[in-house]
Structure 1
Amino acid sequence: MAPRKPRRSTTKGESRAPKVSAPHSTAEIPSVPSKSKIVPVELQQLLLNIFKNTFRENYNSKLSGLIQQTKQHLFSREFNKAFGSEDLREAYAVRWSPSRALAYTQIFYNLTPLTRRLVSDCGEGFGNPEHGPTDQPQDALANAQNAAKDAEDSRGKSNRIVCIGAGAGAEIVALGGYLSLLSNRPVSGTQEAISQDEGLDRTISPQRLEITAIDIADWGSVVDRLQSNVTAAPPLSQYASAEAKAANSALIGATAMVLNFVKQDVLSMAMDQMPAIFADALLVTLMFTLNELYTSSMSATTNLLLALTMLLPAGALLLVVDSPGSYSTVSVGKTSDGNGQSTKNYPMQWLLDHTLLESAAIGSSKNASAERQWEKLESQDSEWFRLPSELRYPIELEDMRYQMHLYRRL
């Protein structure tokens, strides 16, 4: 199957399947936030290649039918059917996860609090995450010695990231791409962009990431295969030159990412299960998942967010990415002819702010002057991620529109 250009569409990112909206000009909605750092096209293509290599056997005559079947189940919100077989799960990962992985990579790349934490934890040469890079100049020998010491000190350590609803693998590949941007093994053409990032030194790689992916469906095989291709060199033709073979390498090192998949309905997770997963997390993500959780049960989702408030350490980040506008509202109440009860729609962002910035504070203090438990670091109501026209992939992909909110535990 010949590679195709990703489609330049105006498809909105939805909970599971995109819906097409009326066209918007780039003047109305910018492709990226102001001052946003762009992931190099070379790296974006490598991330697409990971999906292509992982699912190379799936690009066949059956794929179109499986995608259409998945679309129909998603449109009907029959998630158990949409993700009920390995064939359908793989079709979803082939069709929707690649473009989301590219968008998520850019989102991670622009999370300065996360970058500072990961890079500064490698040692003194990377500066203090609260006060910025070190101001004292170092000669080349001293810098090399510090880098070696930091690499030795960081060996065996990990930073835990918990991705709720991450079964389809987009977050896994995106974190691999993000880690490669932070490492000392940049993709060709990316070093200049990396060196401009907040003045942070890039002499050594950050610590490895320990990722826990939680999903209600059985995505274990999908995420394991994607993680294997993130940490392994891509396959080469038997006719590849010796030079090509020598230059061939994995996106990140084999030990840079540790993955644990948990098949679990996070809303029914017992409280005694949660500390082992969340207690020391650096980052928790809810990517196109929170609105689904609210729709399933607003009370259970609120309890989950309050539980995260109790479990996450100070400084931990919570990242929420979801569909923008009317695609991300929660209906409360049901219309009834008998009692006149009416349905009210609440924006997901409002519910999230209310829980974290108000209810969490009230619930954590018996005093009238409750202390804040979270601060909101960043909020974007509607952004576009647009696929570069140079990218190639066996089937058509679509641009992604999203809202994004970042919170830090106090």
Structure 2
Amino acid sequence: MSLKQLPGHNSATLPPQEIIDLFKVAFGQELYSGNLSQLEAQIQDVKSCLYNREYIEAFKTDERRTAYVCRWTPSRAISYASLFSHFPEILEKLRTSDSNVLCVGGGAGAELVALASIFTPAKFAKDSSTGTLQVNLIDLSDWDHVLQKMITSINDRWLYKQTSADFKVQFTNRDVLTVTETGDLAHLDLITLLFTTNELFKQDRAGSIRFLQSLNKHCKIGSHLLIAESAGSYSHIKVGKRTFPVQFLVDTVLVGPHGKGGPWELVQESDSLWYRCPPELDYCIKLENMRFFYRLYTKTH
């Protein structure tokens, strides 16, 4: 029987409340200085833009980006932590060697915090063999100021001075579909596209296919690619007069038509998986449950 719901907490990660507490510290001024109504107004503006798929407008200011992180990133961070740790292949990369990760569309920091929540206990474990973790984030909007708050809190509260040098973060403010340099792809151990693939295809279907083809050509054998997206019809893409689930298009490019002939192999998949936030978590804004599909691929040739 396939898994229908991820655990609220996987023992390979820091506890969900500790992850939530990181945001309380990093964004304490916005959450607890008495200006919550101002933050909530910004959240409503962002929510309206997201509903209308006006992504540039939603994230055009630091205030709106901060509002998004305060409202949605904590939920995603704990769900991504559970998702990442669900895969032995990903855990092995993060816990037993030097690893290089690219998070496409990861500017809001959920992937960053989730990865740090796995790397931290692995680094402090007795007889740890964990090396360094390089996290590369690329996003169309400029999340740098917001990310620095999370990075500072990760280093100060979780890793401390003696190990923070082993956790390296680089943010690139750029549209991934316009990137022509491909040399770095050969050094990546893990690539994530979490709640990003659908929008890339709707933004530029041909460019998205070219990006996936560049992964086909340049990623090294043994690297992994994790894609997750909203389950259901929201993630369907229209091609001509027909409509396809976005995962069908991705599978065709990466694995090949009918699941054969491509340079990637499908390791695990689910078309509907829930993450439900543990009800005892303490946070001043409602935490969101998530339902999504995922695909984990490995490069075979």
Would you say same fold, with TM above 0.5? Answer: yes
Does the CA contact (< 8 Å) of 2:14 and 2:118 recur in 1? no
Name the SS for the 2:15 alignment partner.
helix
Q: Is 1:115 equivalent to 2:5 in the alignment?
A: no
State which of 282, 288, 300 in structure 2 corresponds to 1:398: 288
Q: Is 1:98 equivalent to 2:74 in the alignment?
A: yes
TM-aligned CA deviation for residue 251 of structure 1: 11
**Closer/same/farther in 2, CA of residues 111 and 251 from structure 1, 3 Å limit:** farther
State which of 31, 36, 44 in structure 2 corresponds to 1:68: 44
Whose relative contact order is higher, 1 or 2, with alpha carbons under 8 Å and at least 6 apart? Answer: 1
Name the SS for the 2:25 alignment partner.
helix
Q: Which residue of 2 aligns with 1:345?
A: 243
TM-aligned CA deviation for residue 182 of structure 1: 2.5
Q: Which residue of 1 aligns with 2:183?
A: 275
Name the SS for the 2:284 alignment partner.
coil
Give the number of the structure whose residues are more often helix, by fraction: 2
TM-aligned CA deviation for residue 179 of structure 1: 1.0
**Closer/same/farther in 2, CA of residues 39 and 385 from structure 1, 3 Å limit:** farther
State which of 111, 120, 127 in structure 2 corresponds to 1:203: 127
Q: Is 1:266 equivalent to 2:179 in the alignment?
A: no
Q: Distance in 2 between matches of 1:89 and 1:167?
A: 9
Q: Which residue of 1 aligns with 2:6?
A: 32
TM-aligned CA deviation for residue 41 of structure 1: 9.3
**Closer/same/farther in 2, CA of residues 184 and 100 from structure 1, 3 Å limit:** same
Name the SS for the 2:187 alignment partner.
coil
Q: Which residue of 1 aligns with 2:255?
A: 357
Does the CA contact (< 8 Å) of 2:216 and 2:263 recur in 1? yes
Q: Which residue of 2 aligns with 1:5?
A: none
Q: Could you say which structure has the larger radius of gyration? A: 1
Question: What letter matches 2:132 in structure 1?
Answer: R
Q: Which residue of 2 aligns with 1:55?
A: 27
**Closer/same/farther in 2, CA of residues 119 and 47 from structure 1, 3 Å limit:** closer
State which of 288, 295, 301 in structure 1 corresponds to 2:202: 295
Unmatched runs of 5 consecutive residues or more in structure 2? none
TM-aligned CA deviation for residue 176 of structure 1: 0.5
TM-aligned CA deviation for residue 118 of structure 1: 3.9
Does the CA contact (< 8 Å) of 2:14 and 2:117 recur in 1? no
Q: Which residue of 2 aligns with 1:135?
A: none
After TM superposition, list the pairs within 5 Å mapping 1:101-250 onto structure 2: 101-121=77-97, 158-185=98-125, 203-233=127-157, 250=160
Does the CA contact (< 8 Å) of 1:384 and 1:400 recur in 2? yes
Name the SS for the 2:107 alignment partner.
coil
**Closer/same/farther in 2, CA of residues 42 and 176 from structure 1, 3 Å limit:** closer
**Aligned Cα root-mean-square deviation (Å):** 2.3
Give the number of the structure whose residues are more often strand, by fraction: 2
**Closer/same/farther in 2, CA of residues 32 and 332 from structure 1, 3 Å limit:** same
Percent of matched pairs sharing the same residue: 31
Does the CA contact (< 8 Å) of 1:214 and 1:262 recur in 2? yes
**Closer/same/farther in 2, CA of residues 41 and 389 from structure 1, 3 Å limit:** farther
Q: Distance in 1 between matches of 2:220 and 2:162?
A: 28
Residue by residue, what CA displacement relative to the aligned partner does 1:12-66 show, whole Å, maximum 9, x if unpaired? xxxxxxxxxxxxxxxxx94328xx9734896211111111111111122201100
Q: Which residue of 2 aligns with 1:11?
A: none
Q: Distance in 2 between matches of 1:178 and 1:329?
A: 32
**Closer/same/farther in 2, CA of residues 302 and 107 from structure 1, 3 Å limit:** same
Name the SS for the 1:383 alignment partner.
strand
Q: Which residue of 2 aligns with 1:43?
A: 15
Question: What letter matches 1:403 in structure 2?
Answer: F
TM-aligned CA deviation for residue 401 of structure 1: 0.9
**Closer/same/farther in 2, CA of residues 279 and 290 from structure 1, 3 Å limit:** same
Name the SS for the 1:294 alignment partner.
helix
**Closer/same/farther in 2, CA of residues 117 and 64 from structure 1, 3 Å limit:** closer
Q: Distance in 1 between matches of 2:96 and 2:26?
A: 33
**Closer/same/farther in 2, CA of residues 329 and 251 from structure 1, 3 Å limit:** farther
Name the SS for the 1:213 alignment partner.
strand
Does the CA contact (< 8 Å) of 1:73 and 1:79 recur in 2? yes
Question: What letter matches 1:43 in structure 2?
Answer: P
Q: Distance in 2 between matches of 1:266 and 1:396?
A: 31
Residue by residue, what CA displacement relative to the aligned partner does 1:219-259 show, whole Å, maximum 9, x if unpaired? 1111122111111128xxxxxxxxxxxxxx75993123100
**Closer/same/farther in 2, CA of residues 30 and 372 from structure 1, 3 Å limit:** closer
- Relative to the length of structure 1, the TM-score reads 0.67
Q: Distance in 2 between matches of 1:119 and 1:79?
A: 35
Q: Which residue of 2 aligns with 1:378?
A: 268
- Relative to the length of structure 2, the TM-score reads 0.91
**Closer/same/farther in 2, CA of residues 389 and 38 from structure 1, 3 Å limit:** same
User: Following TM superposition, where does structure 1 have runs of at least 4 consecutive aligned residues deviating by more than 6 angstroms?
Assistant: none
TM-aligned CA deviation for residue 299 of structure 1: 1.1
Q: Which residue of 2 aligns with 1:132?
A: none
